[in-house]
């Protein structure tokens, strides 16, 4: 990829970029890959978790984008269009993986519960290693345990910052379905994270109590009354909804939602 593509934004609008892409411009496609490779890989690895597989799928996404750009009619943004391809390829990969390993497990006589654990916890991804702080790493690992149908909606909304209409376009479902999936995904994530942060808070609280009984603890994690450093952006777009674990209430700050409050 050219050095110029790595440092400059496309000088014209998206319509002009699409025209260049459809005209076969190598520099336009070079810019597209450079600009969107990171976000697409981040989305795919969030769904697949295995970095090697995610890298292969990301390449396939851009190959299909290159082949299919002639059919792009501008009904959505290029980003949304790429994300739709990425989600479809990730979903196809997961289905293939499941069928293949389920058949292999039957031949080997392996327990399917153990297989499910292998699928949901395949190991640390590059996003985990590069994430700024322990909170981000914990949340990203916890996301792997959220069912894929809800995880995709949460990643698109809370990590990639897409609006509800954009998420609906990517997933090809209604906005109401998107909000329902996000709500259930956030609830599942909260249930996974609660005991993890509770153990961290109790351990840290005991250590600090030994150092100074008079020290006050500001903030809380999940309302446990202790400040833990680090923050994790949990809601994107125009709304402010960061999951700051040093805030007074994890649930309120993270916008994890509840059946009574709905989802924002």
The structural domains of the chain, with segments of one domain joined by +, span 1-125, 131-264
The C-alpha atoms of residue 150 and residue 188 are separated, in whole angstroms, by 9
Same fold for the pair 1-125 and 131-264: no
The 3-state DSSP class for residue 64 equals helix
Residue pLDDT tens, the chain, 264 long: 444 444 456 667 889 999 999 999 999 999 999 999 999 999 999 998 789 999 999 999 999 999 999 999 888 899 999 999 999 999 898 776 556 555 544 444 444 333 333 333 344 444 444 444 577 677 878 898 999 999 999 999 988 899 999 999 999 999 999 999 999 999 999 999 888 777 665 666 655 655 554 344 233 333 333 333 333 434 433 333 333 333 333 343 344 544 445 666
Task: Quote the CA–CA distance of 74 and 79 in Å, as a whole number.
Answer: 11
DSSP 105-170: HHHHT--HHHHHHHHH-----HHHHHSSSHHHHHHHHHHTTS-HHHHHHHIIIIIS---HHHHHHH
pTM (2 d.p.): 0.61
CATH (residue range 131-264): 1.10.10.10
H or E element in which residue 146 lies: none
DSSP 8-state assignment for residue 69:
G
Q: The domain 1-125: what is its CATH number?
A: 1.10.1740.10
| Total number of residues shown for the chain | 264
């Amino acid at each position: 990829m050219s050095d110029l593509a790595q440092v400059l934004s496309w000088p014209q609008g998206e319509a002009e970029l699409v025209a260049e892409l459809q005209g076969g411009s190598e520099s336009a496609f070079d810019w597209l890959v450079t600009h969107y490779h990171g976000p697409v890989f981040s989305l795919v690895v969030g769904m697949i978790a295995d970095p090697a597989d995610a890298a292969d799928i990301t390449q396939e996404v851009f190959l299909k984008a290159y082949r299919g750009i002639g059919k792009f009619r501008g009904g959505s943004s290029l980003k949304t269009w790429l994300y739709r391809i990425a989600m479809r390829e990730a979903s196809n990969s997961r289905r293939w993986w499941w069928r293949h390993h389920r058949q292999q497990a039957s031949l080997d006589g392996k327990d399917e519960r153990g297989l499910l654990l292998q699928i949901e916890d395949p190991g640390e991804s590059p996003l985990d290693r590069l994430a700024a702080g322990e909170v981000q790493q914990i949340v990203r690992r916890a996301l792997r345990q959220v069912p894929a149908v809800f995880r995709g909606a949460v990643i698109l909304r809370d990590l990639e910052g897409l609006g509800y209409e954009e998420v609906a376009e990517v997933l090809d479902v209604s906005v109401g379905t998107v909000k329902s999936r996000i709500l259930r995904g956030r609830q599942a994530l909260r249930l996974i994270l609660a005991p993890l942060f509770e153990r961290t808070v109790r351990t840290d609280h005991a250590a600090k109590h030994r150092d100074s009984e008079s020290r006050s603890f500001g903030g809380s994690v999940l309302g446990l009354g202790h400040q833990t450093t680090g923050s994790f952006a949990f809601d994107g777009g125009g709304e402010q909804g960061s999951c700051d674990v040093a805030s007074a209430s994890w649930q309120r700050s993270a916008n994890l939602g509840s059946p009574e409050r709905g989802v924002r």
